[in-house]
Structure formats: C-alpha cells, structure tokens
Structure 1
Amino acid sequence: MAHSIADIARALGLQADGDLDLIVTHVAEPSSATRDALALAMDPKYADGLTAGQACAAILWSGADWQGFGLKAAIFAPRPRWAMAGVSQVMDPGYDFGTGIHPMAFIDPTAQIGDGARIGPFVSVGARAQIGPDARIGPNASIAEDVVIGAGLTLHAGARIAARCVIGDRFIGQPNSVVGGCGFSFVTPEPSAAEDVRATLSGDREIRAQKWQRINSMGAVRIGDDVELGASSSIDRGTVRDTVIGSGTKIDSVCQIGHNVQMGEDCMMCGMAGVAGSARIGNRVLLAGKSAVNDNIFVGDDVIVGGAARVFTNVPAGRAVLGDPATKIETQLEIRRALRRLPRLAATVAELQKAVFKPGQRD
C-alpha cells in the first residue's frame, strides 16, 4: 500500500516536514527499515535504530532533529501510541476476504445479507439471520438462526455467533471467538457441596453422591456498536435475560464472560480475564490480564482492576484495585511491602525467643 508522507500526515492530523511527496509502502522498526519503509521511531530511545536502518522517512517524537538522522521527510507525533493507532489503520494491508459470496458458503434462503458482503468458503448463515451491509466473514465462520448484526461486520476464520444474538455495527470477532454459547449453569436436587461450603465457609459437610442437571440458557447476547472480541474468547448467553456488552468495549484473546453479565460501554478486558455470571460491570472499566470478577457483584464506573487481581466484593466507582483478594491499590502495596519484610521479622522473633525462653523450654 503506497502512500505519500503528505497523505499519511493528513490522515493522522499531524505535522510533517521535508519531502512530503515521498512515497512509502509499509512501516518498519527503525533498524530494519528499507528505503521505501516508514520507520516508527516515536521515542528518542529508537534514535540509534534510525542510523542503523535505511529509512528515508520516519514518524518521530516532537522536536526531533530529523535532518540530523539523514531523513528526507518526517512526521511528528506528540502522543506516540495515538499516532500508532492512526498509522496502523492507514498502512495495514488487512485480510483478504475475497469478493462476493464464495460458492462453497451456505446461506439459508431466508437469511438477509446486506450489500457489499464478502463471505468466504464453508461459512454457514442460518435461517432468518440478518446481516448488515459491508460484512466480511472469513472461512468456517458460522452465524446461527435469528441473529441480527449491524453494518461493517468483520468475522474472522472459525468465529461463531449463536442463535438469536443481536449485535450492533462494526463488530469484530477474531478467530474462534464465540458469542452466545450456553451459560455454565447446573443444579443438584439437594443443596450441593459447593453451596454448603459457600453458606458455612467451612469444609465440614456431609459427603454424598450428587448428579448435576443443566439449566438451559434461554436468553441470548446483546452487543452494542464498535465491540471487538478476541481470539478464542467467549460471551455466554443469558439464562432468562440477555447477557449485555456495551458499545465500544474491547475484549482481548482467551477471555470469558459468563451468563447474565451486564458490561458497560468502553470497557477493556485483557487476556485471560474472566467475569463470572450475573456480575455487573460499569462503564470504562479496565480488567487487566488474568484478573477475575466474582459472580453477582458490582464493579462501578471507571474502576481499574490490576493484573491477576481477584475481585470478590463490590467495587465503588473510580477505584483502582489489586491483589488476591483485591483491595485498594494503596492497601495492596502496603501488604506487599509487609510481605517482603516477613523473613526479617521471623528472624527477629526467633532471636527474641532465644533471649526470653530458657534452653529446653518449649516455645
């Protein structure tokens, strides 16, 4: 994809200098950039790479001496990661979804497919499904019966949308993601061992044989606009009411959202995070990698949950939490400092015991 420096700067809304008619075909790290590459060196720590590579043009930090690096043109980025988002959209060659509907795709005669669809081989679209215009659907993806999806769908290879789910515009489902799988809901005729332990907070209980009975998921999943679901991640359908994911929410790979979860807008959920059934997540909540939210609790707006934190109780709006169990980040850092002092404290206690107790006296 060939672009002039002027066109890229205009698309990013950034200042540029030098030969603005210079053409670049791809982006590269500074040290490995060829003459037709746009080097990404938006921090001074990448300066040495510019001299090692062959790039004629680069995106640099504000105020950089671009001519001193031997460049013919430069774009200046006051906020590097924001610029990175823009340049990735301009320069990314994307994926080849082919043209039209592949002859080896199966589209139910009652399904409605919007204009401009590109649908790959072995795709299945079920009865009465409605897919908006400009859909891009990769091979082996499936969309079940009575699904409704807005405009600009991107569904990568092997992604699944189960029956009756409703999804807004510009949804992205990465490979092998699943929307609308059945919730993990089972019950025993009598109170289960897990219920006994949860009620008593004790391991003392009657041991007895138990048989699990499935509770079917009769709800579906409703997703807003501009939501992305990462590879091998899943959103379970609700038991009676729908599981809901708000507009603008981004979900990383290998994440799991349980049945009946209500998640707000513009949330971010990083890899291997999980939200248990019936939890309520506010707007703009960030769940860092491997974090977990317990069932039936509430996490308020603008909460940040740190990596590997375990949230067992409600979290008020605006709080940052960390640890297992999760506490305010300030409290957790104090706990961790205290833990680092434990070996020294144990040694001190041992010395005190020697001073206080007579030889042979029990501690």
Structure 2
Amino acid sequence: MKSVNIGELAKALDARSWGDTSLPVTGAAEPAATGPVGPEGGVIAMAMSPKYAEALKPGSMAILAEGMDPEAYGLKAAIFAPRPRLLMAGLTRTFDPGLDIAPGIHPSAVVDPSAQIGADVAIGPLVVIGANVRIGAGSRIAAHVSIGRDSVLGENCVIHPGARIAHGVTAGDRFVMQPGASVGGDGFSFVTPEESGIEEIRRTLGARADIHAQHWTRIHSLGGVEIGDDVEMGANSTVDRGTIRSTRVGSGTKIDNLVQVGHNVEIGSDCLLCGLVGVAGSSRIGDRVVLAGQVGVSDNIVIGDDVIAGGATKIFSRVPAGRVILGHPAVKMETQMEIQKAMRRLPRFAQQLAKLQETVTRLLEKG
C-alpha cells in the first residue's frame, strides 16, 4: 500500500499541515473509521465540518477546514483544506492504485501487425487491436477491450475492461473510458421512401392525414469521432459516429455513466454531462456547459457557452449562452420555480373558485 507522511501529503496538496508531520498516511477513510495512529501510520479522514469531525477518534489524523481546531478533537496531525473538494481530488489521486495491468502485451491479446504501439503501453488479456491503430506512450488497455482499424489514442490513456472503440476514432491524451463505454458505433439514422409519420407531424404539428405501413432504410455512418485531451467517459456511455463529418467532444469534457451522444453532435470543452443525459443528433453544445442527470436535448439544438441545465430538464429550442434552465420544457430556472409555486397553489385556487361559483349561483338564484 502506498504511504506518504503528513508533511509530504500536505505539500503535494498545496495545503497547510499541523501536528506530527512525520506520521505515515496509508490511505483515506470516513471519520468514524479512524483510530489512534501509531509509528507505522494509518488512514486520514475527511472531516471538513464539525458535523463530520465529531466522529473522529482521539489520536487520529484528519483533513479539516480552515478555522477548525485539531486539538479540540484530540488529533495527532491534521491538514487544512482551503478548498475541500479540490483537496479531495488530490487525496484520492494519491491513493488510487489504478488499473492492475502487467507491463507489455498479454500473450492472449490480438494485435494487428500494422498497429503502432507506443513506449510503456500495457495491453491486458483478450484485447483486440485492429489494423493501423496507433496507441500513445504510457497508455493502459484493460482486458476484453477492442479498438477498431485506423483509430488513434494519445498518450497516457486508460481504457477500462470491456470498453469498445470502433474504427476511425481519434482521441487525445489522457482519455479515460470506464467499463462498457462505447465510442464510434453507428448513428441512429434511418429514412423511409416516402414522407414518414415523424416528418409529417413535424410539418403539421400533430395532424395525421394518412396512416399507412412504412419501412425504414439505414443511412450509413461514414464519419468518425474526434475526442480532445483529458476527456472521460463513464460506464456504459456511448458516443455515436457521424454520418458524413465526425462527432466531436472537446478537451476536458466529462461524460457520466449511461449518457447517449448522438451522431454529428458537437460538444465543447470542459463540459459535464451527468448520468442518463441524452443528446440527439446534430446538436451543438458550447464550452463549460453542465447538463445534470436525465437532461434531454432534442436534435439540431444549439446550446451556448456556460449554460447550466438542472436535472431532468428537456431542451427543445436554442439556449443562449450563460443561461440557467430547468423544467419540461426548459425555461429560465427562476421562471420554473415560479411555475412550481403556482402549481402547488392550484388545489387552494380550485377550492376558492368552487366557493366563488357557489356564491355566484346563490346570488343569481336570489336575483
């Protein structure tokens, strides 16, 4: 198990330390799971509010918020966090063992002779790598991964077990794919010989003149997928390839589990797409956009930079840059909050209206 002392850890996290800085830290734990630390060291707890710090055991080590008193909790050592969640990122990075893949290429892997494998690449069991694939130095490819022909991975990529990279995909440095993620599958694109029911209701806004049998013909996906640096994809998320041009995901964007990105979509840099987000084909999403869980984006929609969409928002029209939206259909968040307040008042309004109707009826009967 990896071990550093309190002083080294504080320096690595660019934070201030207190107490016995020579104590070894072997990992992280919840406050209640701590215990007295001996010369051999122990775990350090995240306890950055008094609510959590109350569970600390005397003689333990903890990360506290600035202004908290480590002596009040009987600690032997502490690190003070100027920005707690950022410090948590550094702490977890320090103790994350990462994928356990032996150096080199596993004997059971199938690597096409034309593939170019960079220095210090680790390729696990039962991996299949196609023709003309290029994998950058320091990348790690776990078991049961497949990478299709002509695809390119940058340096220090991490591809977890069972991930699928189709042909003609390009990804930059430090690309991370969690188990079961898929990049470069065909887009969901089909057409009928005559006007389809979908096209009809879009034209008529719901009216149907004639309902008859229709059969779908595939539009093949000739484009690829282009992914920037420092992109991460969660487990079982998917990015479809483009029809003619490539689907694009900008550098620094993070995609959560079970996210669907359709064909021809363009996503900017440093975006967050949370679990169960669905982005339909040919939509364009700007930089630093946050789509919370279960957000849906209709096809051919343009979303400006720095937009934040709250959970389960459904976006059917263009969203200007910088707007915070919520609801189904999406509106400004403050508007949606007023709508929700008004809806909660509806039962009371209905009762008041019923009483008014009774009063009016009695007055009319008397008149």
Q: TM-score range by the shorter chain?
A: over 0.9
1:75 aligned counterpart, secondary structure: strand
Q: Where does residue 78 of structure 1 map in the other structure?
A: 82
Q: Where does residue 283 of structure 2 map in the other structure?
A: 279
| In structure 2, C-alpha distance between the alignment counterparts of 1:271 and 1:157, rounded to whole Å | 20
Q: Where does residue 15 of structure 1 map in the other structure?
A: 16
Say whether 1:58 aligns with 2:59. Answer: no
- CA shift for structure 1 position 33: 1.8
Specify whether residues 146 and 82 from structure 1 end up closer, same or farther in structure 2 by C-alpha distance, changes over 3 A only: same
2:335 aligned counterpart, secondary structure: helix
- CA shift for structure 1 position 357: 2.5
- CA shift for structure 1 position 43: 1.9
1:49 aligned counterpart, secondary structure: coil
- 2:218 maps to amino acid: R
1:340 aligned counterpart, secondary structure: helix
Q: Where does residue 238 of structure 1 map in the other structure?
A: 242
Match of 1:45 among 51, 55, 64: 51
Q: Any conservation in 2 of the 1:311–1:325 contact (CA below 8 Å)?
A: yes
| In structure 2, C-alpha distance between the alignment counterparts of 1:142 and 1:307, rounded to whole Å | 33
Q: Any conservation in 1 of the 2:58–2:73 contact (CA below 8 Å)?
A: no
Q: Any conservation in 2 of the 1:115–1:133 contact (CA below 8 Å)?
A: yes
Q: Any conservation in 2 of the 1:237–1:259 contact (CA below 8 Å)?
A: yes
Say whether 1:318 aligns with 2:319. Answer: no
| In structure 1, C-alpha distance between the alignment counterparts of 2:250 and 2:78, rounded to whole Å | 39
- CA shift for structure 1 position 98: 1.9
- CA shift for structure 1 position 79: 1.1
Any unmatched runs of 5+ in structure 2?
none
Q: Where does residue 121 of structure 1 map in the other structure?
A: 125
Say whether 1:3 aligns with 2:7. Answer: no
Q: Any conservation in 2 of the 1:279–1:297 contact (CA below 8 Å)?
A: yes
2:55 aligned counterpart, secondary structure: helix
| In structure 1, C-alpha distance between the alignment counterparts of 2:272 and 2:263, rounded to whole Å | 18
1:25 aligned counterpart, secondary structure: strand
Match of 1:99 among 100, 103, 119: 103
Q: Any conservation in 1 of the 2:122–2:139 contact (CA below 8 Å)?
A: yes
- CA shift for structure 1 position 170: 0.3
Q: Where does residue 134 of structure 1 map in the other structure?
A: 138
Say whether 1:306 aligns with 2:310. Answer: yes
Q: How does 1:1-363 map to 2 (within 5 A)?
A: 1-34=2-35, 35=37, 36-50=42-56, 53=57, 56-357=60-361
| In structure 1, C-alpha distance between the alignment counterparts of 2:120 and 2:7, rounded to whole Å | 30
TM-score, structure 2 as length reference: 0.96
- 2:346 maps to amino acid: L
- 1:211 maps to amino acid: H
Q: Any conservation in 2 of the 1:37–1:55 contact (CA below 8 Å)?
A: no
What whole-Å deviation, never above 9, does each CA across 1:70-104 have from its counterpart, x for those lacking one?
A: 11110000211011011111121222122211101
- CA shift for structure 1 position 29: 0.4
- 1:21 maps to amino acid: S
| In structure 2, C-alpha distance between the alignment counterparts of 1:233 and 1:173, rounded to whole Å | 9
| In structure 2, C-alpha distance between the alignment counterparts of 1:305 and 1:48, rounded to whole Å | 36
- 1:93 maps to amino acid: P
Q: Any conservation in 1 of the 2:243–2:264 contact (CA below 8 Å)?
A: yes
Q: Any conservation in 1 of the 2:48–2:63 contact (CA below 8 Å)?
A: yes
- 1:3 maps to amino acid: V
| In structure 2, C-alpha distance between the alignment counterparts of 1:261 and 1:148, rounded to whole Å | 20
- 1:96 maps to amino acid: D
CA-based RMSD of the aligned residues comes to: 1.4
Q: Paired residues, what number?
A: 359
- CA shift for structure 1 position 223: 0.4
| In structure 2, C-alpha distance between the alignment counterparts of 1:339 and 1:70, rounded to whole Å | 51
What whole-Å deviation, never above 9, does each CA across 1:19-64 have from its counterpart, x for those lacking one?
A: 11100111000101243111111222112111xx366211111121
1:307 aligned counterpart, secondary structure: coil
- CA shift for structure 1 position 108: 0.5
Q: Any conservation in 2 of the 1:4–1:20 contact (CA below 8 Å)?
A: yes
| In structure 2, C-alpha distance between the alignment counterparts of 1:90 and 1:192, rounded to whole Å | 55
Q: Any conservation in 2 of the 1:44–1:61 contact (CA below 8 Å)?
A: no
- CA shift for structure 1 position 194: 1.2
| In structure 2, C-alpha distance between the alignment counterparts of 1:189 and 1:55, rounded to whole Å | 76
| In structure 2, C-alpha distance between the alignment counterparts of 1:43 and 1:263, rounded to whole Å | 37
4+ aligned runs moved over 6 Å, structure 1: none
Any unmatched runs of 5+ in structure 1?
none
Specify whether residues 121 and 282 from structure 1 end up closer, same or farther in structure 2 by C-alpha distance, changes over 3 A only: same
Q: Any conservation in 1 of the 2:59–2:75 contact (CA below 8 Å)?
A: yes
